[in-house]
Amino acid sequence: MSYGPHTTTDEVLAGVELTGRVIVVTGASSGLGIETARALAAHGAEVVMAVRDPGRAADAVAAVGSHGHLVTLDLASLDAVRAGADAILDGWSRVDVLVNNAGVMATPEECTADDFDLQLGTNHLGHFLLTARLSPALGDGSRVVNVTSAGHFISGMHWDDPHYRTRPYNKWEAYGQSKTANVLFTRGLAQRGRTAYAVHPGKIASGLYRFLPDEERAAIVGEQPVSGEQQVKTVEEGAATSVWAATADGIPSGSYLADCQVADAAAHATDPAEVDRLWAWSEEEVGETFPA
């Protein structure tokens, strides 16, 4: 079957059996996260739904059903990430797939509990630490799926001041930097022998856009021509590439994926020197080394 921008999660998973597989999905309480969890659970996977506020995850629980299990995880706090990772490890000795799906976009200037830029801290550093902590459970045949964005083309890493402590804040540059970090992290995992993919889901009218003014949101996900990258996807189409990355065979590790196909990432997100620099910097920021 030929896949493309209109491919849905159910089409990707047609005939796929996931019984016995344990899959962790962050940000599973809304949007792409719910759909990713629902689709995988529908094919038999046991899905650990890592959410910031379990009290607001009723819709997600209803969608996923008995194969879903809620765990509290706040990516904007390293202590909370450690606690969430411990809860996952206490419940499951093995994780077959980790889908680092949660994220924020174009937020007002704000810091995490650890004084990181909110977008870089949530989108990358929280997931970096979570992946490191879950690493003992990610055994042979496991894979990590990092949800990034074509927004990574906006900006590379700003090593002089990645957290905007002295320079003026720019919400889109900050978003682009965080999404570049997702791609660099994916490449770093692949270089260290892990199976990992960076996924661009496309434009989906979801809660990710909640921080944008009405006019700006409408310009991005409002009525647009039905062609190419400008087209807004449904959540079923947007989550399809994550599901494909989580289950398909033969995709080269470290790949950047879009529309259920291998695509080209920005040069600044694939530079080997930047991959190594991000890895070392991330370990220093979170205060932990990534297990070999």
Q: List, by residue number, the catalytic residues.
A: 175
Rounded to whole angstroms, how far apart are CA atoms 26 and 99?
6
Q: 280 near 192, Cβ under 8 Å?
A: no
Rounded to whole angstroms, how far apart are CA atoms 14 and 260?
14
The set of residues, in sequence order, having a beta carbon less than 8 Å from that of 58 and lying 6+ positions away, is none
DSSP secondary structure code for residue 26 in this structure: E
Which among 63, 119, 69 is positioned nearest to 91, based on CA atoms? 69
Strand-strand pairing, 68-72 and 195-200: unpaired
Rounded to whole angstroms, how far apart are CA atoms 145 and 62?
24
Rounded to whole angstroms, how far apart are CA atoms 138 and 94?
6
Backbone angles phi, psi at 71, to 5 degrees: -135, 135
Strand-strand pairing, 195-200 and 203-204: unpaired
Rounded to whole angstroms, how far apart are CA atoms 157 and 42?
38
